[in-house]
Amino acid sequence: MSTSQQEPFEEEHLLTPEEVAGIEARKQAAIRAAQETPGTCTKHLRLSIDFHITIAGTPPDDDGLSEPDPVYHARQARLLAAVKSNPAVLKQWMDDLIVSQMQQKGWSYWEMLTGGEIAFKDLLAPAIATLSEDDQAFFAEYDQAGYFEDGINLFQASFTIEEEPAVVVDMDADDEEEMEQPMKKYTITVQQSGDQFEATVLEIGVTVTGPTFDIAMMEAQRAIVVGMIAEEQAKRKREGDD
């Protein structure tokens, strides 16, 4: 098999932390250089998820476990009424519901966006079919060897993604000024430390870890959401004090 740059079969050895850092630095430098080449472009995509939260007029009178208790139910009803009459508390409660809802979503939920999990070789097949026979044979050999992703690593590195922080907007709100506030941007850096990946959100000085790059990124995004909720809570507290 003729491979001009990448060999799928190489003797493995355990990399030291210094070697890992050096490889990552070299990789990131190459990515930055590639983004300065002619033909570089930026695509802006938006993932939109609407949440519809139904708030009952009065709480359910039965939890399915205990016998209905009118006194207990009355307390729950008064608490519900108090929260509904306090916009700041109600918003924070609903924000927390949304965060909990998103945390429960597994990978299969997100794969629905693309119609289910699709192997890279199948996703790229129409594009590869337009290449020369030599190129098609190259990718076919990697596929047959079970190392298809190793044969497209620089192609994958051609794409870098930065996401803007999630913002919860009350679609029923009349305060247009609040809805048009510019979104704060966050920078997440990830580096491997031993068998863990450390993700740091520079703007809030928080570092989280995960066994994989993707999980570390998810934990960092979760930290951003928690930070945003805390910031909003502090803002509303200051407004209340004023």
β-bridge mates for residue 39, sequence order: none
Whether residues 98 and 126 fall in one domain: no
- Asked whether residue 96 falls in the same domain as residue 115, the answer is no
Tokens of 144: 């047959």
Whole-number Cα distances in Å, 180 to 67, 169, 177, 192, 227: 48, 10, 5, 38, 20
- Counted residue by residue, the chain has a size of 242
- What tokens were used for 3? 């491979």
Q: 151 near 8, Cβ under 8 Å?
A: yes
Same domain, residue pair 211 and 227:
yes
Residue 165 contacts residue 185 (beta carbons within 8 Å): yes
What is the number of domains present in the chain?
A: 3
Q: Compare 1 and 30 and report the one with higher pLDDT.
A: 30
Segments forming the whole domain that contains residue 121: 107-158
Question: What average pLDDT does this structure show over 126-142?
Answer: 92
The reply to whether 90 and 127 lie within a common domain is no
Assess contact for 197 and 213: CB atoms under 8 A: yes
91 in any annotated domain: yes
pTM summary value: 0.52
Residues 6+ apart with CB under 8 A from 93: 83
Residue 216 resides in a domain: yes
> For residues 129 and 136, what is the distance between their CA atoms, to the nearest angstrom?
7
Of the spans 12-16, 111-115, 137-141, which averages the highest pLDDT?
137-141
| 88 and 115, same domain (yes or no) | no
* Tens of pLDDT, residues 144-177: 999 898 889 888 888 777 767 767 777 776 544 4
150 assigned to some structural domain: yes
What percentage of the chain exceeds 70 in pLDDT?
A: 83
Are residues 194 and 230 located together in one domain of the fold? Answer: yes
Instruction: Read off the CATH number of the domain in which 225 is found.
Output: 3.30.160
DSSP for 144-175 reads HTT-GGGGGHHHHTT-----PPP----TT---
